[in-house]
Structures are given as structure tokens and as C-alpha cells.
């Protein structure tokens, strides 16, 4: 059950040092970086920049479920290690680094930055191992969790596994607590004898030659809650106009108070600073912000813990306990340049320094978020509040908020699953000004389940949610499209409803949000290049896409495809390492009108999917060049040179199917006897539509060894009802074919689509 009792198992909540900072330095959401891997057969030179999913393990045992689109991180769901104290996310252009808070003081002081670079981790990790290179002088210090493969004079090689990385993370947390007392980071303990740990196999990065600036000494005076000189707490300094001038290099921008003083060497300019103060017991953190100051000569400024007088508190209509809270500060400089700092905390009290003076250079805005769940002794089903508030422009307000029922949407969520497990759930919201990266902690949830979620609602708040079926491996589940909820809305949303089968990407946003988070159509043509993308193991709620299935957990997971033009096969391929949502298939087609047939097979063996373990879907349609076709706002066809968005392409008229099995339980079982399945036949968003002219259906009760025809009734141009009988204790396989007036067709076979109760 998703409530406080399971939430207490979330490792963030047991963090001994509750520092949780996510720092984002970036431009806009649609900024291309390293493109996700794609299956490509011929290319026009345009990069489709598909959605992709991967899981990365950090050195402290944190695991990141990363989903990217247009080359940028769209959603990063975090499963923290037991000892984790938080996470810092740094984004500058194409660079994405995820740094555990306990590791931050040691970056460059024992830990190489490549350990936290997602691109480097993706290339280096394999077989569940993070390979390491270690240098040292004298004797190698004991490194808990690090498995040494070879050791020589002054150097060693080794690796971390998902489990052993947690042991290293626990040791790192203890080291952080010890060093925090005296600001002696990187001098002893794990990092004694000059220990430096790097990701193995990574080339040494060349040091760029920066521009020449007039440098000045900036002295920051820090005073603690008692008003005395502070030691061990953190201060960060950024150039307001452009963080590339000073601040993008996090090693330079971050320092620590020692006897009340931290010094920086900075170019002449206008700056802002953040002081973070912890009480040392992990129960209170205070954030003191100095929004603006100028450095012309050697300059001294001060930040004080005493200035952080406003504690984040939120009142809710129903009793709650606070599971996490977050405070975000975005400081804007020159056009297109910003620094965003986000602090995530669980049970720790979080205090902020209010301001009244507006900056004269650039601007700033704050956002406050919280996840709050039902108390342990509440009667009835569990519930949760997912809340987000925007502060006024250019000042930091007092942090006391009230969540009013009229401003919320209530969603009853039913999560279906054929086997019981402890999975994870995450929901994250943004205002348009926050787009750049979504980051959400994964909260434990027992599956299957019915739960109630209350969301901050309105057209200016966009939500994205996901769940995974197995918390231990981040396997399976569904990811929702980004959506908004009207205030006062009450609705039901189904997750994981059987049968599972391929589904396309959909756009549920409009207006400014759609521009910030554009979608790639599931099938489109640019010139003579055809791009195809369908996500296997998706459920039947528009916007939901099936989650990544690691082969090491599911046994064998594979998706393969074949593309035919006028009955001649022109492309084929296989994805052997799990089913990856968003794989773009790119294939060259004839400039003349032709008929395309696209066949997609997906299968998995193992405990993840006892129902709907495999499917085959075949789409057939007519295609021709449409040089004048152009997509509306909220959609795009790819990017060129990682900067220019392409809108000129034609969405292909592929048919879609969605299923509703009457009377199905959360375990995916229907009652024996008469079966009724409603099927909606549609087209891809933006595709030309034609009425459905024919539909047939078959069912099998012996895993497809024999098939029987089902009774088919049509209602309107897109609704089909099929009826048949099924005895107790069997599994139902389905095969459905539909054709429209334009000649497009779809045939879908789903093995063990759902079950019949005994």
C-alpha cells in the first residue's frame, strides 16, 4: 500500500545527512545533447532524437531511471541508496551530471567528475558493474564496496555492483559527517594517501583555454544560527549574467566555510550566492540567499543562517504526514541563461530566507513542492497530496502555504498487475518556467493497488507520473505523458490494464506547455525517409507507454521488426537487450506512392509479465511524398545539427487499438463464462482519419494452438465489441484485425492477453 508505512522504507528518509540539492544550469527544454541510440536504416541527415530509457548506477548506490527526448533528460526518477543524503543534478548544454550530495565536496578532491556523467556511465557500465580506476600514494586506503581486480604500485582497478555501491555510499556518508565538522574534505579516511577514484576507460578531458578576465578576491563571511563564525557548511557563488563566466565549473563555484570565511577568485561582474546551513543532526537545513551583489575590486559579502527564518509548511484538507518537500530557486541572467537550484528533503525541516528587494540585473522566481501521504492510523484507503506552488516574481516569499480543495484534482488510480510485488511510483509537476529537467524520487508502492492522489491543478501546472513493477530492478511498469488537471476534477486513471501491447506516443498538452515539451509522432515521413516508433507492453490509457524491461530480471526480452514496401522487405532488426521505449526505426522508401507493411514482435520470458508476455502487431498503409506537410505546435520531426527543430513531415495513417475487458480484476482476471471486450479503433494523432469498414476478432484458450472466431458488433465508426465464452482457469489470447476506408489496416495478436479466474 502506498502510504507512510512503505514510504518510510524510502532510503532518502533515513539519510543521516539530509542535504539534497539538485542544481540545474541550462537554457531551454528542447536543447539537444548526446542523441539517444536509434535503429537507423538510411538517413536524410536529420537526427530524430528519439525517446530512450536507461538505468544508471552512481557510486553511492543511487540508481537513476533516465528517460530522454530530443537529446535532453525528460524524466529522471531516483531510487536512492540506503545511506544516500540527496542528489545534485548539473546540466550545462549537452552535459548531464548527477552527483550524490555526500559526494559533492569530494568532486576533484578524491572523486573524478566522470563518475557522475550520465553519458560516460552509459558507455562504461556493463553487466551491472561500474568499472573504476584508482590512484594513490603509499598504501591504498580501505574502500568499502569496491571490489579490487588488480592492484599495483600507486594504482588499482576494480568495480562496484549495484549492491556493493550502497556499501561505498554508506562509508561516504560517514566520511561526509566526519569531515563536515572541520571542512577537511578529501584529506583523510576514504581519501587518505591521495586516493583518486575515476571511471575506468574514460580518456582524460583536455583542459579548455578560457578567456582572460580581471580576477578579484571574493570573501564570503558565514555565520551560523548562533551568530558565530561557521565551519563546514557550504556556499555557492554564480555570475548573474552568464554562469559560463563563473559558476558552471562547480568545483570553482562551491566552497566551504572555515572559521566563518570562504574565499573565491572571480572575474569582475555581478553575482549571487547561496549559503546552506545544517544543524549537524540532520533535522533542520536553512537556505540563505544573497540575490545580487557586485564585484569590482576585492569584495566581502556575508550570508547568515539566521536570515533563513521561514520554514516550509503546507496545510492540507485531510490529515497528512510529509514525505518530501522541495524548494526551487531559478535565477535568470542574460536571455537564455539561467541557474536553477532545487533542494529535496524528506523529514528534515527546511527553512528559507525571505527577500523583499528585487534584483536590478536579471530576475528570479521560486517554487515549492511537497508529497504528503495519509497518516498511519487513517481509516479507509491510502491517499497522497502532490503539491506545487509558485512564488511571486523577483522575490523569495514566506514559505507558508495552504492547499485548498477547490484548487486540487482528485484521481483514483487503479494499478493492475498479474503478480504481487513492491514497485515504485513517482509524480512530478512543473510550471512552464521550470521546464529543463524533471526529477522525481521513486516512492515504494505495493502492487496491484487502488490509491487516491490529489494534484495541484490548473492549466499552468503540468504533471508527469510513472511506476515500475519491481523496485529492486526498476523493471517494467508504465510512464505517463505529461498532462494537466483542471481544478476540481474527479477522475479515475487505470495503469497496467491488460492486455498489454504496442502503443504510440500522444500529446496531451496544449499552449505553452506543448511548445516546451513537443512530441515525435509514432510514424511520420520526411521526404523519402520513414520514421517508425511504437512502444511494446503499453497499457490502454492514452499517454501511457510501457516501461523498460531489463533482460537480467525478465529472463529474455526482445523486440524485433520488419518493414516491407510493396511486399519487398526493405528493413529488419532486433533489440536484444530489453524492450526500449522510443526506438526510432528509420528507413528509406521509394519517392513513388507505395504500400508499407510494418511488423513488430515483442516478447519477454520471466516473472515480469505472466500475462500479455508477447505480441505481434502488423500495420499496413499507403504512403506517398508530401513535401508541403507540416506539424503544428507541440510536435516535431527531429532536429538538425542539434539545434534546429524540424516541423516539415507527414504523419502516417497508422491504425491504433485500445482494449477494455469487462469485469477484469486488478490481477488481470475476468470471471469465467461470457466475455465482453470493447475495442476502440483509431488513428495516430494528426494522421488523416477514415471510418473503420471491417473488423474481425479471434480468441484462443490454449496459447494460440487453435483459434475460434468471436462475435463482433460494431458501434459507430470506431467502436467494436467482441463476445465469446471462456472457462475458469484459462488464459485468453486475442487476435484482432481492423481496416479503414483508406486501405489502412492493423492486425494484432496478443498471447495470454488476460486470464480467467478459477
pLDDT at residue 575, rounded to an integer:
67
Asked if the model's pLDDT at residue 581 lies above 70, the reply is no
Least confidently predicted of 84-88, 395-399, 612-616: 84-88
Please give the pLDDT value at position 72. 41
The lowest-confidence range among 16-20, 362-366, 677-681 is 16-20
Distance CA 617, CA 736 (A): 10
SS3 assignment for 415-449:
ECCCCCEEEEEEEEEECHHHCCCCEEECEEEEECE
Return the HEC string of 652-719: CCCEEEEEEECCCCCCCEECCEEEEEEEEEEECCCCCCCCEEEEEEEEECCCCCCCEECEEEEECCCE
Instruction: Tell me how many domains the chain contains.
Output: 1
- In a domain, residue 597? The reply is no
Provide the domain limits for residue 658. 653-758
Determine the average pLDDT of the residues in 517-542.
93
Integer CA distances (angstroms), 469 to 533, 603, 624, in order = 23, 17, 41
- 335-349, 358-372, 379-393, 590-604: least confident range: 335-349
* DSSP bridge partners of 494: 414
Q: Which SS3 state, helix, strand or coil, does residue 6 take?
A: helix
Looking at the domain assignment, is residue 99 inside a domain? Answer: no
With bands split at pLDDT 50, 70 and 90, how would you rate the model's confidence at 564?
A: very high
Examine residue 666 and state whether it is found in any structural domain, yes or no.
yes
Looking at the domain assignment, is residue 748 inside a domain? yes
Asked if residue 659 is part of any domain, the answer here is yes
433-450 pLDDT, tens per residue?
775 555 566 778 889 999
pLDDT class of 361 with cuts at 50, 70, 90: very high
Per-chain mean pLDDT for the chain: 83
**19 assigned to some structural domain:** no
Provide the CATH number for the domain around residue 743.
2.60.40.3550
Which region among 136-140, 264-268, 730-734 has the lowest average model confidence (pLDDT)?
Answer: 136-140
Tell me the mean pLDDT in the region 341-370: 89
Report the C-alpha gap between 212 and 214 in whole angstroms: 7
Query: Does 754 fall in a domain?
Result: yes
| C-beta separation of 692 from 714 below 8 A | yes
Per-residue pLDDT at 513 exceeds 90: no
- Quickly list DSSP for 342-378: EEEESSSEEEE----SPPSSSEEEEEEEEEEE--TT-
Alpha carbon distances (Å) from 460 to 102, 428, 507, 511, 659: 35, 14, 16, 10, 32
541 inside domain: no
pLDDT tens digits for 294-307?
Answer: 999 999 999 999 99
The pLDDT confidence band at residue 554, using thresholds 50, 70 and 90, is very low
Residue 750 pLDDT level (bands cut at 50, 70, 90): very high
Q: How does 281-290 read in b/e, with b if 16+ C-beta sit within 10 Å?
A: ebebbbbbbb
- pLDDT, tens digit (0-9, with 9 covering 90-100), for 614-658: 999 999 999 999 999 999 989 999 877 556 788 999 999 999 999
Min mean pLDDT across 239-248, 298-307, 393-402 is at 239-248
Amino acid at each position: 500500500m502506498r502510504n507512510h508505512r512503505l514510504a518510510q522504507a524510502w532510503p532518502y528518509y533515513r539519510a543521516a545527512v539530509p542535504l539534497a540539492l539538485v542544481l540545474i544550469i541550462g537554457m531551454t527544454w528542447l536543447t539537444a545533447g548526446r542523441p539517444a541510440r536509434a535503429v537507423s536504416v538510411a538517413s536524410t541527415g536529420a537526427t530524430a532524437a528519439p525517446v530512450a530509457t536507461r538505468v544508471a548506477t552512481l557510486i553511492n548506490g543511487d540508481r537513476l531511471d533516465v528517460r530522454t527526448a530530443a537529446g535532453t533528460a525528460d524524466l529522471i526518477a531516483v531510487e536512492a541508496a540506503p545511506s544516500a543524503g540527496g542528489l545534485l543534478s548539473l546540466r550545462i548544454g549537452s552535459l548531464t551530471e548527477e552527483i550524490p550530495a555526500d559526494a559533492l565536496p569530494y568532486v576533484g578532491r578524491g572523486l573524478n567528475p566522470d563518475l557522475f556523467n550520465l553519458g560516460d556511465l552509459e558507455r562504461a557500465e556493463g553487466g551491472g558493474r561500474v568499472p573504476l580506476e584508482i590512484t594513490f600514494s603509499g598504501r591504498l586506503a580501505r574502500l568499502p564496496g569496491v571490489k579490487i581486480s588488480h592492484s599495483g604500485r600507486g594504482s588499482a582497478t576494480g568495480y562496484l555492483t549495484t549492491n556493493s555501491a550502497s556499501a561505498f555510499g554508506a562509508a561516504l556518508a560517514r566520511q561526509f559527517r566526519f569531515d563536515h565538522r572541520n571542512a577537511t574534505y578529501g584529506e583523510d579516511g576514504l581519501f587518505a594517501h591521495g586516493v583518486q577514484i575515476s571511471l575506468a576507460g574514460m580518456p582524460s578531458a583536455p583542459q579548455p583555454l578560457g578567456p582572460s578576465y580581471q580576477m578579484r578576491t571574493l570573501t564570503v563571511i558565514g555565520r551560523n544560527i548562533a551568530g558565530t563564525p561557521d565551519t563546514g557548511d557550504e556556499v555557492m557563488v554564480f555570475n548573474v549574467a552568464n554562469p559560463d563566466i563563473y559558476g558552471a565549473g562547480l568545483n570553482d563555484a562551491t566552497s566551504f566555510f572555515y572559521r566563518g570565511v570562504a574565499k573565491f577568485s572571480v572575474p569582475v561582474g555581478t553575482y549571487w550566492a547561496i549559503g546552506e546551513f545544517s544543524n549537524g543532526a540532520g533535522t533542520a537545513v536553512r537556505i540563505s540567499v544573497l540575490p545580487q551583489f557586485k564585484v569590482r575590486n576585492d569584495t566581502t559579502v556575508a550570508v547568515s543562517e539566521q536570515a533563513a527564518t521561514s520554514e516550509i509548511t503546507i496545510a492540507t484538507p485531510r490529515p497528512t504526514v510529509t514525505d518530501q518537500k522541495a524548494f526551487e530557486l531559478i535565477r535568470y541572467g542574460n536571455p537564455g541563461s539561467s541557474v536553477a537550484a532545487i533542494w529535496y528533503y524528506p523529514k528534515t525541516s527546511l527553512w528559507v530566507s525571505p527577500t523583499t528587494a528585487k534584483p536590478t540585473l536579471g530576475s528570479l522566481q521560486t517554487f515549492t513542492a511537497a508529497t504528503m501521504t495519509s497518516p498511519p492510523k487513517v481509516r479507509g484507503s491510502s491517499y497522497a497530496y502532490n503539491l506545487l506552488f509558485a512564488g511571486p516574481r523577483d522575490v523569495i516569499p514566506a514559505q507558508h502555504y495552504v492547499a485548498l480543495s477547490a484548487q486540487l484534482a482528485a484521481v483514483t488510480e487503479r494499478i493492475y498487475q498479474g503478480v504481487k510485488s513492491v514497485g515504485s511510483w513517482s509524480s512530478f509537476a512543473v510550471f512552464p518556467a521550470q521546464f529543463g529537467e524533471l526529477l522525481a524520487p521513486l516512492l515504494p508502492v505495493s502492487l496491484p493497488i487502488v490509491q487516491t492522489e490529489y494534484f495541484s491543478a490548473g492549466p499552468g501546472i503540468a504533471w508527469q507520473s510513472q511506476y515500475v513493477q519491481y523496485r529492486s530492478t526498476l523493471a517494467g511498469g508504465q510512464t505517463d505523458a505529461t498532462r494537466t488537471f483542471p481544478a476540481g476534477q474527479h477522475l479515475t486513471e487505470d495503469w497496467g490494464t491488460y492486455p498489454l501491447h504496442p502503443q504510440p506516443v500522444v500529446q496531451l498538452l496544449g499552449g505553452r506547455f506543448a511548445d516546451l515539451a513537443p512530441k515525435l509522432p509514432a510514424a511520420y515521413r520526411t521526404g523519402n525517409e520513414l520514421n517508425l516508433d511504437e512502444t511494446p507492453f503499453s497499457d490502454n490509457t492514452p499517454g501511457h507507454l510501457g516501461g523498460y524491461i531489463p533482460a537480467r530480471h525478465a529472463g529474455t526480452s526482445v523486440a524485433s521488426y520488419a518493414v516491407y514496401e510493396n511486399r519487398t522487405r526493405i528493413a529488419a532488426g532486433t533489440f536484444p537487450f530489453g524492450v526500449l521505449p522510443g526506438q526510432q526505426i528509420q528507413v528509406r522508401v521509394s519517392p513513388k506512392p507505395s504500400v508499407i507493411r510494418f511488423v513488430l514482435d515483442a516478447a519477454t520470458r520471466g516473472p515480469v509479465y505472466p500475462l500479455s508476455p508477447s505480441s505481434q502487431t502488423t500495420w499496413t498503409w499507403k504512403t506517398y511524398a508530401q513535401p508541403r506537410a507540416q506539424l503544428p505546435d507541440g510536435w516535431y520531426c527531429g532536429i538538425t545539427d542539434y539545434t534546429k527543430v524540424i516541423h516539415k513531415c507527414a504523419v502516417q495513417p497508422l491504425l491504433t487499438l485500445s482494449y477494455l475487458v469487462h469485469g477484469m480484476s486488478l490481477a488481470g482476471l475476468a470471471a469465467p463464462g461470457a466475455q465482453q471486450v470493447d475495442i476502440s479503433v483509431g488513428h495516430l494523432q494528426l494522421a488523416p482519419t477514415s471510418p473503420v469498414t471491417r473488423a474481425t476478432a479471434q480468441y484462443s484458450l490454449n496459447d494460440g494452438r487453435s483459434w475460434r472466431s468471436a462475435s463482433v458488433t460494431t458501434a459507430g465508426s470506431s467502436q467494436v465489441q467482441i463476445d465469446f465464452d471462456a472457462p475458469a482457469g484459462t488464459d485468453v489470447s486475442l487476435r484482432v484485425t481492423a481496416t479503414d476506408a483508406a486501405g489502412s489496416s492493423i492486425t494484432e495478436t496478443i498471447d495470454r492477453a488476460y486470464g480467467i479466474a478459477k
